[in-house]
Amino acid sequence: MSNAQLRFWGVRGSYAAPFSSHLGVGGNTSCVEIRVDDHLLICDAGTGIIPLGNKLMQQDQIREIFVILTHYHWDHVCGLPFFVPAFMPDWKIDFFGPGDGPELIEEHISAQMQAPYFPVGTETWLAETNYLEPQSDGFQCGPMKISFSNVHHPGITFGYKIEVNGKTIVYASDNECKFIEKSIKRRTDEFTEEEHELIEEMVHEEHQSELNLFKDADILIHDAQYTPDDYEKKHGWGHSCYVDAIDTAIDANVKELYLFHHDPNYDDVAMEAIQKHSNEIIKEKGSSLVCHIAKEGMTIDL
């Protein structure tokens, strides 16, 4: 067995929330490190990748990194211009994310480092950088097996499955679950009986394909941006209500769920209420699911 750990470096969605009222949970945007022996996988490059980069500069066993991006919204890439290893000549960084081929991946990553938005471009990165071609059977990072699927979010957005030490970790930072089911509830009067039958099938198919990615995961890190009240106002914004994330995790027979991509408007008190409500929901359903609030600095042994 390899020595494997997962660490949360950024757990916020949308934008960083470095407010004193929020620091119990953490203020940085999406970034999760999975380290297996000397193999390093980084899921997303939000502001959380900045302190991770600084930490990496203090050691010398690791010089190779694999960065996988769910998509290119700011909260998932905005740490890269400040990621010190990229500017160092003896490092090697492989990037993968959505896009039709390596050129587009490079283009999407480079686009934020351009005048007048940023003083230097990715050509100043001295590390060897590679942009990877999508592989239908996934990637390998040391002993980690990585595969990807499309999820429900604006633009092409991936969810990743990482298998290591006999455990399955699923990282789906941005995913609006049960979207179609909820849309139908809002439009139910528009359809005839025949259409309702077809639509019910459609909802079932959608739900099944959603569950496929999460099925039997030991650890699911999932979008839980909104409370039910806020989700009511923000249906169709591409993020989940934590209640739906929990329901989906239970349906998919997930063991441990880490609620992730927290709304920057929620302070530590609000997040505590979410944890409490989540536990109540799970208890009510008689499920064995364990639900955590992902917090910056939290480390899981794999």
206 binds, among Zn ion, another protein, none (CB under 5 to 8 A by kind): another protein
Judged by beta carbon, residue 28 or residue 175, the one nearer another protein is: 175
Interface residue with another protein among 199, 213, 241, 246 (CB under 8 A) is 199
CB 39 within 8 A of CB 143: yes
* Minimum separation from the CB atom of position 242 to Zn ion (A): 15
Count, residues near another protein per rule CB under 8 A: 28
Judged by beta carbon, residue 202 or residue 270, the one nearer another protein is: 202
Of 22-30, 162-170, 175-183, 222-230, the segment contacting another protein by CB under 8 A is 175-183
Of 84-92, 125-133, 153-161, 245-253, the segment contacting another protein by CB under 8 A is 153-161
Burial of 121 from C-beta contacts in 10 A (0-12 / 13-18 / 19+): middle
Residues in 221-250 at the binding interface with another protein, rule: CB under 8 A: 236, 238
Residues in 79-138 at the binding interface with another protein, rule: CB under 8 A: 98, 100, 136
SS3 content of the chain, % helix, strand, coil (to 5): 35, 25, 40
Of 40-48, 62-70, 179-187, 271-279, the segment contacting another protein by CB under 8 A is 179-187
Locate 269 and state its tokens: 């008190």
Among the listed residues 57, 44, 23, 27, the one whose alpha carbon sits nearest the alpha carbon of residue 153 = 44
* Minimum separation from the CB atom of position 1 to another protein (A): 34
Angular region, 138: left φ>0, alpha ψ -120 to 50, beta rest: left
State the alpha helices, DSSP H only, in the chain: 49-56, 74-77, 102-110, 179-187, 193-214, 228-233, 242-251, 268-284
DSSP 8-state assignment for residue 132: P
Residues in 4-23 at the binding interface with Zn ion, rule: CB under 5 A: 13
- Asked if residue 180 binds another protein (CB under 8 A), the reply is yes
Residue nearest to Zn ion (CB): 73
Task: Estimate the crossing angle of helix 179-187 against helix 193-214, to 10 degrees.
Answer: 160
DSSP 8-state assignment for residue 241: B
Interface residue with Zn ion among 44, 75, 247, 296 (CB under 5 A) is 75
Query: What amino acid occupies position 276?
Result: K
Nearest 5°: phi and psi at 229?
A: -65, -45
- Asked if residue 184 binds another protein (CB under 8 A), the reply is yes
Judged by beta carbon, residue 73 or residue 178, the one nearer Zn ion is: 73
- Asked if residue 174 binds Zn ion (CB under 5 A), the reply is yes
Burial of 145 from C-beta contacts in 10 A (0-12 / 13-18 / 19+): middle
75 binds, among Zn ion, another protein, none (CB under 5 to 8 A by kind): Zn ion
Report the distance separating Cα 249 and Cα 215, nearest Å.
8
Judged by beta carbon, residue 67 or residue 164, the one nearer Zn ion is: 67
Among the listed residues 43, 104, 97, the one whose alpha carbon sits nearest the alpha carbon of residue 72 = 97
* Minimum separation from the CB atom of position 184 to another protein (A): 6
Residues making contact with Zn ion (CB under 5 A): 13, 73, 75, 174
Residues making contact with another protein (CB under 8 A): 98, 100, 136, 150, 152-156, 179-180, 183-184, 187, 190-192, 194-195, 198-199, 201-202, 205-206, 209, 236, 238
